[in-house]
């Protein structure tokens, strides 16, 4: 599994644990909890944008082909969101997983 897939799964897991994302990958609320909203300030303009990124990342993991510009943009956004939400140690541990 590549780094992008790991990061997107980690993000989905974190959002699910917080009750933000349901099992179908849909956001459960029209707004994010204040602590997450604060961490994502400047990265995500609205919750629909986050849901779109999650859906695209999920589709890519399922083997759907993304255009190179879309794939690159989603990869960068997922990396930036994970950098904002996770402690460096959590991300280092992820890179050690196979």
CA dist 30 and 47 (Å) reads 7
Per-domain residue ranges of the chain: 3-96
Q: What is the 3-state secondary structure (H, E, C) of 17-84?
A: HCCCECCCCCECCCCCCHHHHHHCCCCCCCHHHHHHHHHHHHHHHCCCCCCHHHHHHHHHHHHHHHHH
Give pTM, 2 decimals: 0.84
Percent of the chain with pLDDT over 90: 46
Query: Is 96 a residue whose pLDDT tops 60?
Result: yes
Given this model, what pLDDT does residue 50 score?
92
Residue 98 has pLDDT above 50, yes or no: no
Q: Which residues pair with 27 in a beta bridge?
A: 21
User: Mean of the per-residue pLDDT values for the chain?
Assistant: 87
Q: Report pLDDT digits (tens) over 59-95.
A: 988 999 999 999 899 999 999 999 999 888 877 776 6
């Amino acid at each position: 599994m590549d780094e992008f897939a790991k990061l997107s799964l980690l993000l989905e897991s974190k959002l699910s644990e917080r009750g933000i994302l349901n099992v179908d990958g849909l956001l459960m609320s029209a707004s994010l909890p204040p602590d997450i909203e604060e961490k994502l300030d400047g990265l995500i303009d609205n919750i629909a944008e986050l849901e779109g990124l999650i859906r695209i990342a999920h589709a890519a993991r399922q083997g759907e082909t993304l255009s190179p510009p879309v794939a690159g943009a989603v990869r960068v956004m997922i990396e930036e969101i994970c950098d904002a939400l996770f402690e460096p140690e959590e991300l280092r541990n992820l890179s050690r997983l196979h």
